[in-house]
Amino acid sequence: MDKDSQDVHQELAKLKAKIQEAREQISNMPGIESSPAEQQQQLATLREQVRTKNQLLQKYKSLCMFDVPKAS
């Protein structure tokens, strides 16, 4: 009985350690700070930002009416 209970305690400690390890791993996992829906929203925002900024740059590129003298 004593031996059993010791074994049980040991197993429980092991389990606790494992769970703790899992917790740490989860804490270190990237990109799970938000829910999938929120993340998708953020992703969409970022894509939109890149698209807008690309458009803006493209617009100014095509607008360029004079050559900028290269600094020598």
Partner 1 sequence: AETTMATAAEKSTKERLLCVLEDLEVLSRELIEMLALSRSQKLPQPGEDTQILELLVQRDREFQELMEVAQQQGKVHQEMQLLEKEVEKRDNDIQQLQKQLKEAEHILATAVYQAKEKLKSIDKARKGSISSEEIIKYAHRISASNAVCAPLNWLPGDPRRPYPTDLEMRSGMLGHMANLPTNGVNGHLPGDALAAGRLPDVLTPHYPWQSSDVSVGMLPPHHGNDFGLEPPGHNKENEDDVEAMSTDSSSSSSDSD
As a whole number of angstroms, the longest Cα–Cα distance in the chain is 91
67 contributes a contact to partner 1 by CB under 8 A: no
Gap between the Cα atoms of 9 and 7, Å rounded: 5
Q: Using CB under 8 A, which of 2, 3, 5, 62 touches partner 1?
A: 5
Measured in whole angstroms, how far is the alpha carbon of residue 40 from the centre of its chain? 12
Q: Using CB under 8 A, which of 2, 27, 62, 70 touches partner 1?
A: 27
Phi, psi (deg, nearest 5) at residue 12: -65, -40
Binding site for partner 1 (CB under 8 A): 1, 4-5, 8, 11-12, 15-16, 19, 22-23, 26-27, 29-40, 42-43, 46-47, 49-50, 53-54, 56-57, 60, 68
